[in-house]
Amino acid sequence: MISELLFRLRALFRRNAMERELDDELRFHLERETEKLMRLGLSRDDATRQARLVFGGIERIKDDTRDARGIALLETIAQEVSGLGQRMSELETRLEHVEKVNTGLEEAALTTARALQEISAHWDKVYEAIRRTETI
């Protein structure tokens, strides 16, 4: 039980090493099968091709082996968390841009409000000047 737990933890945290070991093991078995077929009289190319056919798809074997490690769910969760982290980072960047635009809009609104205050403070004088010119 403990050895199984240790194996799964190793598969989770030392994935690259486990993948290299899996590649080495599959290569070893393919080479043994190729040698066996060559002893039966096949050429190296034909023996290699036949050995691959006997084994089936190497990627399928790798996937089956990964599934047998029992950490597929944890790997999926880790990938999802990583993806969420990346999306959060993108959202933070976008939020910073929105905050900058918002600050610019606030400054523009304040400038407009000050200009309107200035106009309204002098409006009576402007209106009076217009009335005087009409009566002339």
Q: How many domains does the chain have?
A: 1
Q: pLDDT tens, 26-73?
A: 889 999 999 999 999 999 999 999 988 888 777 788 777 777 766 666
Range of the domain at 26: 1-70
Tell if the pTM clears 0.85, that is, is over it.
no
Does residue 21 belong to any structural domain of this protein? yes
Query: 95-123: b or e for each residue (b if 16 or more CB lie within 10 Å)?
Result: eeeeeeeeeeeeeeeeeeeeeeeeeeeee
Q: Specify if 22 maps to a domain.
A: yes
Q: Cβ(7)–Cβ(71) under 8 Å? A: no
In a domain, 30, yes or no: yes
If residue 43 lies in a helix (H) or strand (E), which one and from where to where? none
The span from the CA of 100 to the CA of 98, in Å, is 5
